[in-house]
Chain A
Amino acid sequence: MVNFEINDKQYSAPDGTLIIQVADREHIAIPRFCYHPKLSIVASCRMCLVEVAKSPKPLPACATPVAEGMKIWTHSPCACDAQKSVMEFLLINHPLDCPICDQGGECELQDQALEYGKDVSRFTEGKRSVKDLDIGPLIKTDMTRCIHCTRCVRFGTEIAGMRELGATGRGEHMEIGTFLEQTVDSEVSGNVIDLCPVGALTSKPFHHKGRAWELQQVASIAPHDCVGSHVYVHTLRGEVMRVVPRQEDSINEVWISDRDRFSYSGLKSPDRLLKPLIKKNNEWVETDWDLALQFTIKSLQAILEKEGGRSVGALVSPSATLEECYLAQKWLRGMGISSIDHRLHRMDFSCDSGGPSPCPTFGLALTELENADTILLIGSHPRTEQPLINHRLAKAARKGAQIIMVNPIQYDFNFKVAAELTPSGGQLLHPLLGIMNALLSQKNERPHFAWLTPFLKNTVSTPEEKQVAEWLGRGNKKVAIFLGLQAQAHWHASALQLVAEALALFCQASLGYLTEGANSVGAWVSGVLPDQGPGGISLSEGKGLNAHSMVKTPLPAYVLFGGVEPEFDLANTVAARRALSESAFVVAFSPFRGGMCEQYAKVMLPIAAYTETEGTFINGEGRWQSFNAANPPPGEARPGWEVLRALTALCGGPGSLYSRSEEVRDELKHIVQNVPSVTLPSLEQRFRRIEPILSESKEGLRVVTEWPIYRVDSLVRRSKPLQDTAASPLFRARLNPKTASLYSIKGENKMRIRREGEFECILPVAVDKKIPENTVHIASALEGGGNMGQQGAVQVFLESNKDA
């Protein structure tokens, strides 16, 4: 701790604290441009110059640490003169077109010019102008306005991990830009919009649309991943104009991903469902809510009476709010429907019969994650799946953590990965068993794991796996293990989960799940599972079908809640399409129409999208985060929980009538607090169940699918700016060159992929070295990708180009 004076007042701060940090803490205004608390310090804008006793020159507050007995004046004539002269220098080449600049009203230069600027310029020469760049559909540039603070450059290097923007040229010819003419493709690139103190980098979708001062700001939670980023939704006259980050240092710091920032464009899609619709003679007829709800209930009841409780399958979006999830399962179970599930990407549920499924949380707080020493990620590409988890991983890597990836294909990481295991044929289970085996042979003094040995009798560890085992097995280290989206969607998902559990137990590590959607934990908590009720209580009777079985054998009726589009969202889209089009009755609760829904649904009920409803998301840390609606839903759309409330009432179900959504949440909270603890069957017992999998053949070609970053839910899929980015992949089968040559396939060929009796599809080939052998990698949820079946073993054939 050192004591010092600022403006003749005594303060103290820990040694090494910068003057500007103390000033910010004490609310002493010091102007600044290049300084940002989350970025490195360059002290280049010189706006924060302050007078320090015994220093002949004014010193930059952002780079000068406080010292014992230091005397600082932030508004003395010397400091003010320095600050004013820097402002004059900044303004000589800055255009004064604030009225047409999107930053106007929230511009740091404008604000500070008011205090430190002159009203008349002494610079009579011509101003510098710089050519604009086209850096993609998300960020609008106006480089003449740039004041060269290099915040965006430092953001790219330090946070995004991609050096996409840089300064070229020298002196007054210095320009910020992409070195070559290219787009900025980082998954968190939008943050430069907030960082830019002037209007050089602004939001392209928001370009010229509104003014900062007229927007209404409502705090909300981002709806696309399990991080639960805090955001502000800015609306103008009931329309969402933009989404910006809300600082929460324990979750998203000051960043949000582009997906969370720009997905709002989907809210204005022409696909919005505005009125309840009923299909009559294959024509959609607008109707009123009463009729639509009555019709829904009657149709469902008729099928239930005829075919029994297992005849209706309900798929709930993992991004539906907690209240919606809870009321949905309450209504459905009240109707006698037990097949409820939110795990849409999943195809292997063999674990479910082995006892209650664990709550899919991270296992540790995000702030702890960046302090972990070893992190094992299984089947995960956090950069596209949870971009802000990726940021925490990058921070951990920078602090020296060993990060190990076990993935079906090689990915580009923007941090140092200690080891990346990409088994052939997407067989993620085998490297894990190899690591387990190496760990067991490493530490013989753990007799209570001896039972594992017979399971690993066929496993031989590779040197790489032994190395990973060594990193994992070091004592006194903080180890975190995560099962990513691809592990959960894997054909061995249950086995992977068990082995990961065993690894975690062995290494005394935390085990976490990086789940799909924003509210997977919430869906688990509220009982949107076929065999578990609210609070995760196992149901002894009335267990239903899981998401995969629901479509594997077609059911007579389906309920789709929260914008679920089975042709994109389910693991097996072929089966899903068949099942839905063959069913007698489908009701879709969705903010959107369009797509295949119009073909198979019988009733479409418009519900509010995420900014339009209040609710709660539980993020991966298990944090309950409630938010309010920012704008009213369009047309006759109603918040989902209100629709479900009305349905429950119409059914005369056991539910009381809730007047506010908080009552729903509190009811659930009460249930959760009183859940008795359950003991799972021993790991050994559960391992028996996967024994046949362990002896399965590793050979053969397998399809591995992955949901691309901007195809994860119905809202993102309708956001045009995001769809226009370079991150939107083409529908291609990607193959290793070796595998391709094995089947005499070349890059320009088309390929026929087939699984006997299930599906067949033809698609163009891309040869890619990053794909391991025996793997066909295909992006799911793409337009035209509906005829792709689930992951796993397939046969491929070269398709002659003539047919194509």
Chain B
Amino acid sequence: MDNIVCFRTHHLNPPWSLQSYLKVGGYSAWKRILVDKVPRQTILASIKASALRGRGGAGFPTGVKWGFIKAELPGQKYVVCNSDEGEPGTFKDREILLMNPHQVIEGMCIAAYVMSATVGYNYIRGEFWEPYQRFEAALEEAKKEGLLGNNIFGSGFDFHLHTHLGAGAYICGEETALIESLEGKKGFPRYKPPFPATYGLYGKPTTVNNTETFACVPVILEKGAEWFLKLGVPGNGGTKIFSISGHVNKPGNYEAPLGISFQELLKKAGGVRQGHALKAVIPGGSSVPVLPAEVASTLNMDYESLAKAGSLLGAGSIIVMDETTCMVKVLARIAHFYTQESCGQCTPCREGAGWLWRIVHRITQGQGSLKDIELLEDVANKIMGRTICALGDAAAMPVLSFIQHFREEFVYYVQHGKSVVYSQRTSRSRKFLDYSGEVGGFISFG
């Protein structure tokens, strides 16, 4: 069941070349579509039937999203791939771009065909120099092969795909900020509505999808929506790449069907470090609410189950923490991240994220008071839902969930000026816990 969608070239050498991709059946869907002139509605219908949901974090049904763009309307339209993967804990797109770039290209081609867009952009995170080069090389290969360009396979369909390298801003992973950044402006999210489907890149209808979403598309069309749907659980079609990091024996990317149980996934990653117990799990990247071990252990990894448990699947980035982890310091680290990455456009996030971090930081410095915990919750609640984009929520949600699930730890820290795990720590874990300052590799954030 593993490595059948996004990582299906993993067994070949090298997995990223055009030959390897063709060997696993790559570009067959693209060729068929162009040669047989498959109607757009048919493709759209199978995407909808496959229950493919956006892999970037929000989990919006891809077929519905594509359907917002009226292909028959005249005018330029754009397809944009969001490879600005910056969420702490997430590192799946990097691997897709590195190992299987052609599948992303094919997915984008098909999306462009469905929406009759002739230009596409892949916005790659600024720090992803290697994936960028790999993707560029793949583009060259595809162009040489006549898979991109004007009048592809004599079908009369043109599609030009360009790569854009970001400049290192987390916020550019937000689709409207990404569009602004692509336009050459500062990466400020736009107020929605209008959504990119009506007013996107250069004011034209635009679809922005995650790298993994695009990578799923060719397989759906090759093997059928039914096949894809059956991989996962109802409403959650296909497999998902789970980026597992933290206190596990084998951190890394694991392609697994949606709806897989957390325990099984943990087993794939080699389980929690020897001799340690699971304490908490952040199931979808740093911006989603944390779940304590007892909740996480019984979880199934799909959109609905996680929502029911009070968290989000997000980008499937699982951060595993064992009992040696000080939750206050984790929160300080996460809060600092959002302080630095807030774009500064709207007030609650610009001012509030920094405030949150300062309060948590003060607590970690042993200068907190019990009032600060209430203040934290209050400030976080005042950011939630009041910002232009979701970054405000992303900054507030960890704070609220950490306090909700681990309030005693915060209280202990405030009262004793040190972490509860320090008093429990064993000599064996001492080295690991030597955590200095608010920056540093306490947990592997991908």
Contact = CB atoms under 8 A, between A and B. Distances in A.
A and B touch in the complex (CB under 8 A): yes
Interface of A: 41-47, 49, 56-58, 60, 63, 81-82, 85-86, 88-90, 92-93, 122-123, 125, 147-148, 150, 166-167, 169-174
30 contacts: A42-B345, A43-B191, A44-B346, A44-B388, A45-B347, A46-B348, A46-B386, A46-B387, A60-B191, A63-B191, A89-B351, A90-B351, A92-B355, A93-B351, A122-B375, A125-B355, A125-B362, A147-B347, A148-B345, A148-B347, A148-B350, A169-B344, A170-B340, A170-B341, A170-B342, A170-B343, A171-B341, A172-B342, A174-B345, A174-B350
B171 A170 contact: yes
A170 B344 contact: yes
Given A43-B346, A44-B347, A82-B386, 20 more contacts: A43-B191, A43-B388, A49-B386, A57-B386, A85-B382, A86-B348, A89-B348, A89-B350, A90-B351, A93-B351, A122-B375, A125-B358, A148-B344, A148-B345, A148-B350, A169-B344, A170-B344, A171-B353, A172-B342, A172-B353
Interface in B357-389: 358, 362, 375, 382, 385-388
Contacts of B350: 89, 148, 171-172, 174
B343 A171 contact: yes
Interface residues of B, number: 29
Contact of A90 (B342, B347, B353): B347
Contacts of B191: 41-44, 60, 63
B361 to A, nearest CB: 9
CB-CB nearest 10 A-B residue pairs: A174-B344, A85-B382, A171-B342, A57-B385, A89-B351, A43-B191, A172-B354, A44-B346, A44-B345, A125-B358
Contacts of A63: 191
Question: What is the interface of chain B mostly: helix, strand, loop, or mixed?
Answer: helix
Contacts of B325: none
Contacts of B394: none
B375 A45 contact: no
A497 to B, nearest CB: 43
B169 A171 contact: no
Contact of A46 (B342, B346, B355): B346
B82 interface: no
B344 A89 contact: no
A148 B347 CA distance: 8
B186 interface: yes
A704 B354 CA distance: 58
B339 interface: yes
B88 interface: no
Contacts of B340: 170-171
A148 B345 CA distance: 7
Contacts of A57: 385-386
B352 interface: yes
Contacts of B386: 46, 49, 57-58, 82, 85-86
A174 B352 CA distance: 14
A171 B382 CA distance: 17
Contacts of B171: 170
A674 B350 CA distance: 66
Given A43-B388, A60-B191, A92 B342 contact: no
Most A C-beta atoms less than 10 A away, residue of B375, B382, B386: B386
A123 B356 CA distance: 10
A56 B348 contact: no
B428 to A, nearest CB: 37
Nearest to A83: B386
Contact of A89 (B343, B347, B385): B347
A147 B345 CA distance: 10
Most A C-beta atoms less than 10 A away, residue of B171, B341, B355: B355
Interface in B185-238: 186, 188, 191
A173 B355 contact: no
B445 to A, nearest CB: 18
A172 B339 contact: yes
B379 to A, nearest CB: 8
A155 B344 CA distance: 19
A58 B384 CA distance: 10
Most A C-beta atoms less than 10 A away, residue of B341, B342, B351: B351
Nearest to A173: B344
A92 B387 contact: no
Contacts of A92: 351, 355
A86 B347 contact: yes
Contacts of B342: 170-172
A412 B382 CA distance: 47
Nearest to B346: A44
A646 to B, nearest CB: 61
Most A C-beta atoms less than 10 A away, residue of B340, B346, B347: B347
A268 B171 CA distance: 52
Nearest to A87: B347
A704 to B, nearest CB: 38
Most B C-beta atoms less than 10 A away, residue of A147, A148, A172: A172
Nearest to B391: A171
Contacts of B362: 125
Contacts of A174: 343-345, 350
A45 B350 CA distance: 10
Contacts of B347: 44-47, 86, 89-90, 147-148
